[in-house]
């Protein structure tokens, strides 16, 4: 999938919501999706970073996106329901939902892991995707095809020592993908997870501060698999745990 070459109008007239759209993989996928015709709903914690992504999309002449500044750590059920109601009013449907926002927390053994940090990581990485998906399912049922895609990681599929809440929360995400995929079998909504592998992002740098990031691929170089799974070419791919790069053993 890394060598996938999407057509220029792959996502024309599609409405796609991306969480964590202000930086890293989320921003790269959002800009690439806009370049292929999608109208983006950019969701993130930082208004300033969302505005930078917005400006880049608008300057390139792509469809004008919508901005949703939202802190997933503190967002309530009502916040998600109000967001879905706004999307319904503005767009009437949702063709794609990419759950990309996530936080690392800390790397520590369980007996030294701070409970407050554990709850915060699980809230952002697992509870928020559940609440947002739940609120948006009626919108995702409206188009002929829709895609829900979760960014995961290797440690969410095989836990490792010291990865704590990050690994546990992404294991929960993988379980959520399986539940949703089974519930939505034989519907117009397909559900998958993707492990991007080692990529030059802020979270990666936080997890591996001694690593030379210049040896890692940029987020822009791994957007192909995301576009494939969000677009019509990925029709029929459902309930899969996919990788954007060759299998590695590096944790995040």
String of DSSP letters for the chain: -TT----TTTTTT-EEEEETTTSHHHHHHHHHHHHTTPEEEEEES-HHHHHHHHHHHHHTTPPPPEEEE--TTT--HHHHHHHHHHHHHHTS--SEEEE----------GGG--HHHHHHHHIIIIIHHHHHHHHHHHHHTSSSSEEEEEE--HHHHS--TT-HHHHHHHHHHHHHHHHHHHHTTTSSEEEEEEE--S-S-HHHHHH-TTS-GGGSPPGGGGHHHHHHHHSGGGTT--S-EEESSS---S--
Give catalytic status of residue 166 as yes or no. yes
Which one from 80, 113, 166, 226 is the annotated catalytic residue?
166
Active site residues: 166
């Amino acid at each position: 999938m890394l060598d996938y070459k999407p057509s220029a109008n792959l996502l024309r007239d599609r409405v796609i919501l991306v969480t964590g759209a202000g930086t890293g993989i989320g921003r790269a996928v959002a800009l690439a999706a806009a370049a292929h015709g999608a109208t983006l709903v950019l969701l993130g914690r930082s208004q300033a970073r969302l505005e930078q992504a917005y400006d880049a999309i608008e300057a390139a002449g792509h469809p004008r996106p919508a901005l949703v500044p939202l802190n997933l750590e503190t967002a309530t059920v009502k916040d998600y329901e109000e967001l879905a109601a706004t999307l319904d009013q503005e767009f009437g449907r949702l063709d794609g939902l990419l759950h990309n926002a996530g936080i690392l927390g800390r790397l520590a053994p369980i007996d030294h892991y701070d409970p407050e940090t554990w709850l915060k990581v699980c809230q952002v990485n697992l509870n928020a995707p559940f609440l947002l998906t739940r609120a948006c399912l009626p919108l995702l049922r409206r188009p002929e095809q829709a895609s829900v895609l979760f960014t995961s990681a290797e440690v969410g599929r095989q836990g490792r020592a010291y990865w704590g809440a990050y690994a546990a929360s992404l294991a929960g995400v993988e379980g959520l993908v399986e539940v949703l995929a089974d519930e939505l079998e034989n519907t117009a909504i397909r559900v998958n997870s993707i492990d991007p592998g080692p990529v030059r992002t802020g979270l990666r740098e936080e997890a591996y501060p001694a690593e030379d990031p210049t040896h890692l691929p940029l987020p822009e170089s791994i957007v192909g698999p995301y576009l494939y799974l969000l677009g019509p070419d990925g029709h029929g791919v459902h309930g899969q745990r996919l990788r954007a790069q060759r299998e590695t053993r590096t944790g995040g």
